[in-house]
């Protein structure tokens, strides 16, 4: 019997009646429902009315290789038929996970050689935090358990990941208390410096603040510093070039592990395969997800150095952490194919070219518009901070920023706001320069209409 096609109205009704959405205002949802899409191809989405949109959200910063890749569907089908899933714990392994981890070891930042596979970026943050604490305790440092992250940072939505997170937008009082043992230090936001300084005429207080916190708490109590190389989900902040060398030296001096969260920045999006490579960062642990399988499957990894592995296994104890779907065969096979596509199509180089063009266009827009206070970005990730007054940096009213997003959406371009006055987007690296020009034409038009 032929399956009857469901209408747009049916999907809207069932969505409102049966789906619990995160980060969604209930009153708006019950009145208007969700933005729904039927299919995608390349960097474009098609809604249930057939209207086409350029996806500046990249499917949640995931779909680096674009939608609708038939070769990924074939790889998925082959692996499902061959072996859909087999656990990766308790002296068990599957071939797809082994192949993926071997490939990751070839392309990971220096000295990252071994990988734990799990389901999502939030899960991977949990693994990294547990591994850092386990590492020090197995080495006899029983009090070395505190984790430092940055104010305004975002690292996920599970219990530990939210405790690492320090951006109020992603938190809520009804979820308190969060997990203890997590500290937060100021983020290097040069446009609105937390220390009231002006770059480059400062002493890099943003890096010094980390050392001051470690010394205040006592380095024998601090296990790790966890952060992104640049901060995409927090307002698209890019660190000054001196920040990372100073932070690396501080962590090394005080024997604090450096955990780099590349969930949002890895897989070519920054113009290099890893954003860590761009800044010369040598992490003790590396977290990756999103672009790892380009959202064709759920997967994340935590990469560790041989030194970390030796510490974890120093007393021959089992690392007490498992996920049922960790090392999922199909996800690993897809991730391996995504890596091959990323390298073969040189998506890193394409992202770098996107970045060069975007910087020129957006810098010109800043000069021409009285409302663009700051332009921030790297590779495919870009953002504009909108202000009512460039001298005072008074934020533009949130309603005005929302109007910019709405005008773009009407023209078939998807961007988002963060906070009250920041516009943010990222086109997949597979976008052509013609795509990018068309996209930025609409963004520029909408901003100039303020």
Domain closes at, from 344, 368, 397 = 344
- Global confidence as pTM: 0.95
Look up the CATH number of the domain holding residue 365. 3.90.1150.10
- 27, part of any domain: no
Task: Give mean pLDDT, residues 178-191.
Answer: 96
Asked, for residue 3, whether it belongs to a domain, the answer is: no
For residue 350, give both structure tokens: 């394409």
305-338: pLDDT as tens digits: 999 999 999 999 999 999 999 999 999 999 999 9
**pLDDT tens for each residue of 147-156:** 999 999 999 9
Q: Is residue 56 part of a domain?
A: yes
How far apart, in whole angstroms, are the C-alpha atoms of residue 228 and residue 36? 31
* Matching residue, tokens 């920045």: 265
Is the alpha carbon torsion for 342, 348, 353, 354 positive or negative? Answer: positive
CA distances from 335 to 277, 302, 321, 397, 443 (A): 20, 14, 22, 41, 32
pLDDT higher than threshold 60 for residue 2: no
Residue 415 structural domain: 35-65+346-448
193 belongs to a structural domain: yes
Name the E strands within 255-299: 257-261, 285-288
Residue 277: closest CA among 352, 213, 208, 387: 352
- Residue 24 pLDDT > 50, yes or no? yes
Last residue of a domain, one of 327, 344, 361: 344
Per-residue exposure over 249-270, b if at least 16 CB sit within 10 Å of its own CB, e if not: ebbeebebbbbbbbbbbbbbbb
- If asked whether residues 374 and 314 sit together in one domain, one would say no
Q: Are residues 274 and 295 in the same domain?
A: yes
- The answer on 208 and 119 residing in a single domain is yes
Is 175 or 258 the better-scoring residue by pLDDT?
258
Whether the per-residue pLDDT at 1 is higher than 60: the answer is no
Claim to verify: residue 311 and residue 358 sit in the same structural domain:
no
Q: Number of structural domains, the chain?
A: 2
Residues 83 and 101 in one domain: yes
The answer to whether position 121 is within a domain reads: yes
Helices (H), 369-432: 398-410
Q: Do 309 and 240 belong to one domain?
A: yes
For residue 197, give the CATH number of its domain: 3.40.640.10
Query: Quick one: 340 and 350 in the same domain?
Result: no
Bond prior to 250 in cis (omega within 30° of 0): no
Considering the domain architecture, whether residues 279 and 375 belong to the same structural domain is answered as: no
Model pLDDT for residues 116-154, shown as the tens digit of each residue: 999 999 999 999 999 999 999 999 999 999 999 999 999
Q: How confident is the model at residue 169 (pLDDT cuts 50, 70, 90)?
A: confident
Residue with the two structure tokens 């009250």: 420
Instruction: Reduce the DSSP state of residue 264 to 3 states and report it.
Output: coil
Q: What is the pLDDT of residues 88-110, one digit of tens each?
A: 999 999 999 999 999 999 999 98
d(C-alpha 143, C-alpha 163), whole Å: 19
Position 175 in a domain: yes
Asked whether residue 4 carries a pLDDT value surpassing 70, the answer given is no
Average pLDDT over the chain, rounded to an integer:
96
Q: How confident is the model at residue 283 (pLDDT cuts 50, 70, 90)?
A: very high
Residue 350 sits at the vertex; the CA angle it makes with 344 and 353, to the nearest 5 degrees, is 155
Q: What angle do CA 151, 429, 266 make, to 5 degrees?
A: 40
Does one domain contain both 114 and 129?
yes
Q: Are strands 300-305 and 372-378 parallel, antiparallel or unpaired?
A: unpaired
Looking at the fold, whether 57 and 194 belong to one and the same domain comes out as: no
Residues 125 and 218 placed together within one structural domain of the fold: yes
Residue that is written with structure tokens 């596979």 in the block: 117
- Output the furthest CA–CA distance in the chain (Å, rounded): 73
Sign of the torsion angle spanned by Cα atoms 290, 294, 297, 302: negative
User: What backbone phi and psi angles, to 5 degrees, belong to 157?
Assistant: -130, 10
Residue 8 lies inside a defined structural domain of this protein: no
Omega within 30 of 0 (cis) for the link into 312: no
How many helices (H) does the chain have, and how many strands (E)? 15, 16
- Write down which residue in 294, 317, 344 finishes a domain: 344
- Let me know whether 271 and 350 are in one domain: no
18 occurs within a structural domain = no
């Amino acid at each position: 019997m032929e399956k009857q096609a469901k209408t747009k109205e049916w999907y809207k009704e069932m969505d409102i009646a049966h789906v619990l959405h995160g980060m969604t205002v209930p009153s708006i949802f019950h009145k208007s429902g969700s933005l729904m899409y039927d299919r995608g191809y390349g960097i474009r989405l098609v809604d249930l009315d057939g209207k086409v949109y350029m996806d500046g959200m990249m499917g949640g910063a995931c779909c680096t290789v674009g939608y609708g890749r038939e070769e990924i569907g074939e790889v998925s089908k082959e692996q499902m038929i061959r072996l859909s899933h087999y656990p990766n714990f308790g002296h068990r392994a599957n071939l797809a996970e082994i192949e993926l981890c071997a490939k990751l070891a070839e392309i990971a930042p220096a000295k990252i050689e071994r990988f734990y596979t799990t389901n999502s970026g939030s899960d991977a943050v949990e693994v990294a935090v547990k591994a850092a604490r386990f590492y020090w305790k197995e080495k006899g440092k029983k009090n070395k358990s505190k984790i430092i992250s940055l104010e305004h940072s975002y690292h996920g939505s599970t219990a530990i990941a939210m405790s690492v997170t320090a951006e109020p937008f992603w938190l809520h009082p009804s979820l308190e208390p969060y997990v203890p043992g997590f500290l937060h230090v100021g983020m290097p936001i040069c446009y609105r410096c937390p220390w009231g300084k002006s770059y480059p005429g400062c002493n890099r207080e943003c890096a010094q603040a980390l050392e001051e916190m470690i010394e205040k708490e006592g380095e024998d109590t601090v296990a790790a510093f966890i952060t992104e190389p640049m901060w995409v989900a927090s307002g698209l902040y890019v660190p000054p070039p001196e920040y990372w060398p100073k932070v690396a030296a501080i962590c090394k001096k005080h024997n604090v592990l450096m955990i780099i969260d590349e969930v949002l920045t890895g897989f070519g999006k920054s113009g290099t395969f890893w954003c860590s490579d761009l800044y010369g960062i040598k992490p003790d642990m590396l977290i990756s997800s999103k672009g790892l399988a380009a959202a064709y499957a759920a997967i994340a990894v935590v990469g560790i150095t041989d030194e970390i592995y030796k510490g974890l296994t120093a007393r021959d104890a089992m690392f007490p952490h498992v996920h049922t779907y960790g090392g999922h065969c199909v996800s690993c096979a897809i991730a391996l194919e995504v890596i091959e596509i990323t390298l073969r199509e040189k998506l890193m180089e394409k992202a770098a070219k996107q970045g060069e063009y975007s910087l020129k266009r957006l810098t010109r827009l800043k000069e021409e518009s009285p409302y663009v206070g700051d332009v921030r970005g790297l590779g495919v990730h870009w953002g504009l901070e909108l202000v009512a007054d460039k001298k005072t940096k008074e934020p533009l009213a949130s309603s005005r920023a929302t109007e910019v997003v709405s005008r773009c959406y009407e023209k078939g371009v998807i961007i988002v706001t963060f906070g009250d006055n920041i516009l943010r987007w990222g086109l997949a690296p597979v976008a052509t320069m013609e795509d990018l020009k068309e996209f930025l034409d609409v963004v520029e038009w909408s901003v100039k209409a303020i």
